[in-house]
């Protein structure tokens, strides 16, 4: 528990005072929880020595009532502190994780599945919260009793004190056995929980594909198999830990019998008084309970450990480095320069010795076969990753010398796969500029050719779009994403040709929105339809090895009769393609 709390306070040092105050309240509650046993002892002692009177029993009763009231007061004060503090701690840890995730390269997200991150931020954080308001107080109570009680007993009679504590070391091996079983089982459970979450997300998000290919039963069988494994892991966890947990409790319960037997022997031999006998018997009734409380507390703590480990692993992951004291990020121009850039995903080389220059306020198209690195180039400009070697400059400045937030503020991105958040249309457009007023947002929507269809909706701009924009068509989502980019008004636009997979009706509107977006901007466009980039200022052609094959305008590249000319010829042939009739030999 000490290690657990030290780690929590390392992440949230500002909450240290609240946890100390909560611990003090719990210690006082524990003291007044044990105090009534003193009055029970006094009552029995006076009864056996025939000195009990109505006055004494009244005094003892009032004393016990006061102890119960004070115990309740300090319990209330403890809960008033620990519940809000535990919730605040988890809130801060979630924010800490979210802030750190924001600073990581996209490579981290390609290595982690959605289920793992979802499990950490949602499920595992709940376990940490439960450990704070359940395990933490149990450890405080146990520590208080194990510190005070043995000292008191040693002072009264060292022989019986040694007898009283002999059960504790005897139970320790079983305690550690149960702790190991909890740890092993919960680590396995945590891994399976991440898989369960991943399968749920994949099943829901891919339901259209599964239905189209009649694979719902097969995918459900996979999901069912993971659930069965998860169920088995939970059952095995309980069954394997049950034996050492039971043995620990049995040995501690035997401690009371040993105290009673030994104290009776000493009483009959005249080596202890009746008073000492009663003290040890009554204390023996209570002294092992806090230790027993540690067993479920440890189980709860072990349940939180995988989340603590994952969170620490996440926070220890180094983010993209930023300059400690960067020069002012005001750029005089917004041209982009790639100088000898090399980049790999793990061991797979994507870009090799890439060199090109994009003058500001020009249109540059990226062309090449699938996997040639076109999308990677746009992500590198936005510094989603860092290059392996070489340099990317913006306005003559290495982008590594710029604060990431400042860099991103100079770039707008509109990609083919649009993601909208489960929020209103208004808020999805406002992501482009949080401080924009309603009129500015509507103006951006009009420019992006989406104000009309938004206005026709029952709730207008307050319409919820569903997760990922599920309630909107592809063309509608594209236009909202363009409105978002227009509102941001960044000088550099990265565009994955937005009209590549929309119907002709939407294509004209989206193209009009794009034209409004890119006026007086530096535009880098990933071209899928070569006909749309024939008027580009320059076309950069990449080959399958991630190297630049050629650079030039449309006409000159056709004259070169190189890779671009072959891609163009392939497009021409594709336009002649038609579905053959039955028996057609074409």
Say what percent of the chain tops pLDDT 70.
86
At 233 the pLDDT is 78
pLDDT tens for each residue of 460-489? 989 888 766 777 887 788 888 888 888 888
Domains and CATH numbers, the chain: 2-316 (1.20.1560.10)
* pLDDT value, residue 209: 66
pLDDT band at 342 (very low <50, low <70, confident <90, very high): very high
Q: What is the pLDDT of residues 426-473, one digit of tens each?
A: 888 887 676 788 888 888 888 888 888 899 888 898 988 876 677 788
What pLDDT score was predicted for residue 20? 92
Q: Residue 137: pLDDT above 70?
A: yes
Kindly tell me if the per-residue pLDDT of 333 is higher than 80: yes
Determine what percent of the chain is predicted with pLDDT higher than 90: 16
Distance from first CA to last CA of the chain, Å, rounded? 75
Task: Find the mean pLDDT for residues 300-304.
Answer: 80
What pLDDT shows up at residue 586? 45
Q: Please give the mean pLDDT across all residues of the chain.
A: 81
**Mean pLDDT, to the nearest integer, of 252-261?**
83
CA distances from 237 to 128, 183, 406, 442, 566 (A): 19, 9, 49, 56, 62
Structure tokens at 236: 């095995």
Q: Do the Cβ atoms of 502 and 479 come closer than 8 Å? A: no
Q: Which pLDDT tens digit goes with each residue over 495-543?
A: 876 555 555 665 666 677 677 667 778 889 887 777 778 888 999 999 9
Flag the least confident range among 36-50, 106-120, 189-203, 404-418: 106-120
Q: Distance between CA 347 and CA 183 in Å, rounded?
A: 35
List the one residue out of 318, 311, 300, 319 whose CA is nearest residue 119: 311
Between CA 1 and CA 514 the distance in angstroms is 57
| Predicted pLDDT at 17 | 92
| Of the candidates 42, 35, 22, 46, the residue with the CA atom closest to the CA atom of residue 68 | 35
Residue 490 has pLDDT above 60, yes or no: yes
Burial class of residue 517 in the structure, from the number of CB atoms within 10 Å of its CB (0-12 exposed, 13-18 middle, 19+ buried): buried
Map tokens 């909107």 to a residue: 472
Segment 141-152 shows an average pLDDT of 77
pLDDT over 60 (residue 583): no
Rounded to whole angstroms, what are the CA distances from 360 to 135, 193, 331, 413? 60, 49, 12, 16
CB 482 within 8 A of CB 523: no
Helices (H), 206-215: 207-212
Contact between 494 and 364 (Cβ < 8 Å) = no
Instruction: Supply the pLDDT for residue 108.
Output: 63
How many other β-carbons are positioned within 10 Å of the β-carbon of residue 39? 19
What the block records as the tokens of 566 is 């072959």
pLDDT higher than threshold 60 for residue 581: no
Question: Cα 436 vs. chain centroid, distance in angstroms?
Answer: 30
Which pLDDT value is given to residue 172? 80
Q: 365 with 533: CB under 8 angstroms?
A: yes
CA 176, CA 290: separation in Å to the nearest integer? 17
| Structure tokens belonging to residue 187 | 């680590």
Query: What's the pLDDT score for residue 290?
Result: 77
**Which of residues 358 and 127 earns the better pLDDT score?**
358
Tokens 């180039």 correspond to 377
Kindly state the greatest CA–CA separation across the chain.
Answer: 119
Taking CA atoms, 35 is separated from 39, 70, 114, 284, in Å, by 7, 11, 52, 14
**pLDDT category, 574, cuts 50, 70, 90?**
low
At residue 585, does pLDDT exceed 50? Answer: no
Average pLDDT over residues 24-32: 89
Q: Can you tell me whether residue 173 is helix, strand or coil?
A: helix
- Beta bridge pairs of residue 357: 337
Q: Check whether 113 has a pLDDT greater than 60.
A: no
Which range, 25-34, 205-214, 463-472, has the best average confidence (pLDDT)? Answer: 25-34
Question: How confident is residue 354, by pLDDT bands cut at 50, 70 and 90?
Answer: very high
Tell me, what's the pLDDT at 483? 85
The three-point CA angle 240-122-234 to 5° equals 15
Average pLDDT over residues 222-238: 78
Decide if pLDDT at 366 tops 50.
Answer: yes
Q: What's the rounded Cα separation, in Å, for the pair 196 and 206?
A: 15
Q: What are phi and psi of 313, to 5 degrees?
A: -60, -40
Higher pLDDT, 231 or 93: 93
DSSP β-bridge partners for residue 397:
394
The answer to whether 346 and 515 have CB atoms below 8 angstroms apart is: no
104 — pLDDT class (breaks 50, 70, 90): confident
pLDDT of res. 310: 83
Count, in order, helices (H) and strands (E) of the chain. Answer: 22, 10
Provide the pLDDT for residue 276. 81
CA dist 484 and 448 (Å) reads: 9
H-type helices in 50-166, by residue range? Answer: 54-103, 106-111, 114-118, 125-130, 136-156, 158-165
Question: How many CA within 13 A on the CB side of residue 397?
Answer: 18
């Amino acid at each position: 528990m000490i290690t657990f709390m030290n780690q929590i306070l390392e992440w949230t040092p500002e909450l240290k005072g609240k946890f100390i105050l909560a611990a003090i309240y719990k210690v006082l509650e524990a003291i007044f929880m044990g105090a009534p046993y003193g009055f029970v002892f006094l009552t029995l002692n006076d009864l056996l020595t025939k000195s009990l009177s109505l006055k004494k029993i009244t005094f003892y009763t009032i004393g016990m009532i006061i102890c119960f009231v004070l115990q309740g007061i300090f319990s209330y004060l403890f809960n008033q502190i620990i519940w809000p503090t535990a919730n605040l701690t988890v809130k801060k840890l979630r924010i800490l994780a979210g802030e750190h995730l924001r600073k990581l390269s996209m490579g981290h997200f390609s290595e982690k599945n959605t289920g793992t991150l979802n499990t950490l931020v949602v499920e595992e954080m709940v376990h940490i919260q439960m450990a704070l308001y359940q395990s933490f107080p149990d450890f405080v109570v146990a520590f208080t009793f194990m510190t005070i009680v043995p000292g008191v007993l040693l002072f009264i009679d060292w022989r019986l004190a040694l007898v009283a504590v002999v059960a504790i070391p005897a139970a320790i091996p079983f305690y550690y056995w149960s702790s190991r079983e909890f740890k092993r089982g919960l680590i396995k459970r945590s891994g399976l929980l991440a898989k369960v979450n991943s399968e749920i997300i994949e099943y829901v998000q891919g339901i259209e594909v599964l239905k189209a290919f009649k694979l719902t039963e097969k995918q459900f069988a996979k999901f069912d198999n993971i659930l069965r494994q998860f169920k088995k892991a939970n059952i095995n966890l309980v069954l394997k830990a049950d034996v050492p947990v039971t043995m620990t409790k049995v040995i501690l319960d035997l401690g009371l019998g040993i105290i009673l037997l030994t104290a009776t022997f000493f009483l009959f031999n005249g080596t202890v008084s009746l008073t000492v006998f009663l003290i040890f018997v009554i204390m023996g009734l209570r002294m092992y309970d806090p230790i027993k409380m540690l067993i479920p507390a440890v189980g709860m703590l072990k349940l939180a450990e995988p989340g603590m480990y994952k969170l620490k692993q996440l926070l220890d992951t180094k983010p993209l480095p930023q300059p400690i004291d960067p020069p002012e990020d005001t750029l005089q121009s917004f041209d982009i320069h790639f100088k000898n850039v090399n980049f790999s995903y793990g061991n797979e080389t994507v870009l090799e010795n890439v060199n090109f220059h994009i003058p500001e306020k020009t249109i540059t198209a990226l062309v090449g076969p699938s996997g040639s690195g076109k999308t990677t180039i746009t992500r590198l400009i936005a510094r989603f990753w860092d290059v392996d070697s070489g340099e990317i400059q913006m306005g003559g400045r290495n982008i590594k010398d710029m604060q990431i937030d400042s860099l991103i503020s100079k770039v707008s991105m509109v990609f083919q796969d649009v993601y909208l958040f489960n929020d209103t249309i208004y808020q999805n457009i406002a992501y482009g500029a949080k401080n924009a007023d309603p009129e500015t947002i509507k103006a951006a929507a009009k420019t992006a050719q989406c104000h009309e269809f938004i206005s026709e909706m029952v709730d207008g701009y307050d319409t919820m779009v569903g997760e990922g924009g599920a309630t909107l068509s592809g063309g509608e989502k594209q236009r909202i994403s363009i409105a978002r980019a227009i509102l941001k008004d960044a000088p550099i636009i990265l565009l994955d040709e937005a009209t590549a997979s929309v119907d002709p009706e939407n294509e004209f509107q989206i193209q009009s929105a794009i034209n409004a977006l890119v006026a007086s901007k530096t535009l880098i466009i990933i071209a899928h339809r070569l006909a749309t980039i024939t008027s580009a200022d320059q076309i950069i052609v990449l080959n399958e090895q991630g190297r630049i094959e050629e650079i030039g305008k449309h006409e000159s590249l056709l004259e070169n009769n190189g890779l671009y000319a072959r891609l163009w010829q392939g497009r021409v042939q594709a336009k002649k393609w038609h579905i053959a009739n039955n028996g057609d030999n074409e």
